[in-house]
Structure 1
Amino acid sequence: MIEFKFPDLGEGLVEGEVVKWHKREGDFVKEGEDLVDVMTEKATVTLPSPATGRIVKILAKEGGVVKVGQVLCIIEEAAPGAPVEAKAEARPEVRAMPAARRLAKELGLDLSKVVGTGPGGVITVEDVRRAAEAAKREVGVAEAKPAAPAPPAEERPAQPLREERIPVRGVRRAVAEKMKKSKSQIPHAYHVDEVDVTELVKLRERLKAYAGDVRLTYTPFFVKAAVAALKKYPLLNASFDEERGEIVVKKYFNIGVAVDTENGLVVVVIKDADSKSILEVARELQEKSARAREGKLSLDDVRDSTFTITNIGAIGGLWGLAVVNYPETAILATGRIVKRPRVYEGQVVPRDVMYVAVSFDHRVVDGGYVARFTNAFKELLESPDLLVLNL
């Protein structure tokens, strides 16, 4: 008998949530075959079977939280050279996002009867909701035509629920834990400024024609400008080692980018962003954002970031103060680009303006240092030709 335990995945991860078992008790599994999906604060990871044999007992149920070293299941290993048995019956694979699986489980909905409209036919949360509403309507029709008239109700009609309790699970639970750690351990301070991005708007419009199938957003420009500014002000590309009382300055530039998904906020990482062009950053960001929304990120997609950018303006906010992505030193939040009257070449004209806000660890840097970093970031966005020279 083999006890399959939740392994140490590194990155300081200590627990995860069981999202989906690919096998059931009594099934046969081959060594290396996908066995179970576990969601950590970084990504959803598919763990392979450690051996070939029959699954005797599953100890970690879907939706449950497991610690590193906790037994997930027990496998009765097949004898060496013994033929691998087939499953008792073929079960069609149901492809669904983790959030859609959880919602279906809460609603008691059979996912095999839901039509997926996501990429490649993946079932989304909206698909589950539509199926649940359709099921309710079918029940309503059946109830509207009873076999015999129902006796008049003497009781008062049931009042609608005034509260709803939502279990904090998955990415939301991981975000909650990480934000709590960040705010309790990092003394946050903030710096806000505005940037005239009129020339950047024009440059992006010109370059979109050369981007091919890559969606050229503003974020890749922000990434490249941030890297150039970080090279001048490296203390913001660092972390604080509390045990040793040291500031750890990173000589590499792995830029995290916050992605809004149905499962919650996920930070994907552009590794060695200083060595990549704006178009390369845009392509990688597009691919990783798609995988984030499908719940298919690997640990390598989300680990080892040194500085994070969150573009709240993509959704609609003018500006906001973000929470530092622990254990980094700073996070840059960019707001929505709006037209505002500004004095330009002696005249008051409408210009494209954007707010930026830097949240930082006051143990590592002071406000003046952050202001100088922000000025360097601004200069590159206000004169994007300088940004191109950094490629």
Structure 2
Amino acid sequence: MSDAFRDAPWPRIRELVVDVLTVAARTHTGYGLIEVDVTAPLARITELKSRVPGGVSFTAYLTYCLGRAVAAHPDVQACRSGGRRLAIYDDVDVNTLLERIKPDGTSVPVLHVVRDAGRKTFAEINAEMREAVRDDLHDHPAVRRRRQILRLPRRARRLVWWWLRRDPVRRKRQYGTVSLSNIGAALGARPSWGLAPSILPCSVIIGGIFERVGWHDGQARPRQVMSVTVVVDHDLIDGMPGARFAETFAGLLERGAGLDEVLHGRR
């Protein structure tokens, strides 16, 4: 038995994580755990990768489906506006974390917001996200804002978060209206769900993809099943509206909605 350990500096970026989780912890969160059959879209994406310059991003596909599902159920992205009003956005802005590689080879998660994701074609979202991972990290707006906020003491940062969240327009411009976290990209083939609070009224966490035998066309066949967590602010969203949104999202995913757009840009 050894008491040895390795001493390392506290990463300053973790201060922002602590700030966000502190704010999110005040939310009365509701969770829905679902399984989605993604056999058909995964096969189609594999087929398209060799035909589309730059490839096809699975995260872009998830973003497209989430944008369309929220557009069909806009109340899930409503937020408080003052004490007795709600702001229900017209556009769906999906935020997600993209991993970018620094010159030293380390990866850095950077927030990217796909604006108006409920109206963009899959081809447009795929091209945007492919381009986003190639941007210069040093001059990226999200990275610049992060550096500016980190220079502030914790109490001042909390005031900044309060100022951003109290106005629906500022909130949308900074965070988007809903969020997507694809942690399944780092997981093995096993059922796995993520449970995390959120500062937005609706978030989706993508877990592991695993094989399961299921009925398809009247026969028992192996299927690729994806674990999905739907996270909502229960102060704003009740169970039935949340379930209807989750069902729409799952349906879009399962039928491969929008994938052919990447070849010819058709809506």
Between the aligned partners of 1:245 and 1:215, the Cα distance in structure 2 is: 47
What letter is aligned with 1:257?
Answer: T
CA shift digits 1:72-98 (9 cap, x unpaired):
xxxxxxxxxxxxxxxxxxxxxxxxxxx
Q: Which has the higher helix share?
A: 2
Residue-by-residue CA offset, 1:15-49 (whole Å, 9 max, x unaligned): xxxxxxxxxxxxxxxxxxxxxxxxxxxxxxxxxxx
**CA–CA distance in 2 between the matches of 1:362 and 1:320?**
18
- Residue of structure 2 equivalent to 1:190: 31
Q: Which whole-Å CA distance do the structure 2 matches of 1:322 and 1:260 have between them?
A: 19
Which consecutive unaligned segments of at least 5 residues does structure 1 have?
A: 1-158
2:4 maps to 1:164: no
Instruction: Choose which of 132, 135, 140 in structure 2 pairs with 1:288.
Output: 132
Alignment correspondent of 1:307: 178
User: What do you get for the CA RMSD once the two structures are aligned?
Assistant: 2.7
Change over 3 Å in CA distance of 1:275–1:384 after alignment to 2 = same
Kindly state the Cα deviation for residue 372 of structure 1 after the two structures are TM-superposed: 0.9
Per-residue displacement from partner, 1:221-263 (whole Å, max 9, x unpaired)?
111111111122111222223x423221111111111234657
From the CA coordinates, give the structure whose radius of gyration is larger.
1
Alignment size in residue pairs:
226
Question: Residue 333 of structure 1 contacts residue 356 of structure 1 at CA under 8 Å; is this kept in 2?
Answer: yes
Identical aligned pairs, as a percentage?
25
In the TM superposition, what is the alpha-carbon distance from 1:275 to its structure 2 partner?
3.4
- In 2, are the aligned partners of 1:319 and 1:335 still within 8 Å (CA)? yes
Counterpart in 2 of 1:230? Answer: 70
- Alignment deviations for residues 333-383 of structure 1 (CA, whole Å, 9 cap, x no partner): 112222111122222110111011011100100122111111101111111
1:177–1:365 Cα change, 3 Å: same
Please give the alpha-carbon distance, in whole angstroms, between the structure 1 residues aligned to 2:108 and 2:46: 30
Match of 2:22 among 165, 175, 180: 180
Give the alignment's TM-score, normalised by structure 1. 0.53
* CA separation of 1:228 and 1:275: change in aligned 2, threshold 3 A: closer
Change (3 A) 1:360 1:264: farther
In structure 1, what is the equivalent of residue 170 of structure 2?
none
Q: Which runs of 4+ in 1 moved over 6 A?
A: none
Q: Alpha carbons of 1:329 and 1:385: their partners in 2 closer, same or farther (altered >3 Å)? A: closer
Q: Is 1:338 aligned to residue 210 of structure 2?
A: yes
Counterpart residue identity of residue 250, structure 1: Y
1:218 matches 2:89:
no
Greater mean alpha carbon deviation, residues 368-377 or residues 268-277: 268-277
Contact 1:172–1:264, Cα closer than 8 Å, also in 2: no
CA displacement, residues 263-286 of structure 1 (integer Å, 9 cap, x when unaligned): 754321111223322122122112
1: CA distance between counterparts of 2:211 and 2:98? Answer: 25
Do the aligned partners of 2:45 and 2:259 also contact (CA within 8 Å) in 1?
Answer: no
CA contact (8 A) 2:70 2:118 kept: no
The runs of 5 or more residues in structure 2 that have no matched partner are: 101-105, 146-172
Q: 1:222 is paired with a residue of what secondary structure? A: helix
Q: Shift of residue 178 of structure 1?
A: 0.9
> Which amino acid in the other structure matches residue 129 of structure 2?
L
Q: Distance in 2 between the 1:376 and 1:282 partners?
A: 21
> Is contact 1:190–1:358 with CA below 8 Å preserved after alignment?
yes
**Do 1:380 and 1:387's aligned partners in 2 also have CA atoms closer than 8 Å?**
no
Alpha-carbon distance in 2 for matches of 1:222, 1:312: 12
Corresponding residue SS for 2:87? strand
For residue 162 of structure 1, report the CA deviation from its aligned partner: 3.9
Looking at structure 2, the residues matched to 355 and 176 of structure 1 have their Cα atoms a distance apart, in angstroms, of: 26
Give SS of 1:259's match: strand
Aligned pair in 2 of structure 1 residues 237, 343: CA closer, same or farther (>3 Å)?
same
Higher RCO (CA < 8 A, seq sep 6+): 2
Question: Residue type of the partner of 1:244?
Answer: G
- 1:173 and 1:351, CA in 2 relative to 1: closer, same or farther beyond 3 A? same
Contact 1:247–1:364 (8 Å) recurs in 2: no
Distance 1:378 1:387, change over 3 A: farther
1:240–1:329: 8 Å Cα contact kept in structure 2? no
Cα distance in 2 for residues equivalent to 1:266 and 1:209: 27
Deviation at 1:218, TM superposition (A): 1.2
Contact 2:57-2:130 at 8 Å conserved across structures: no
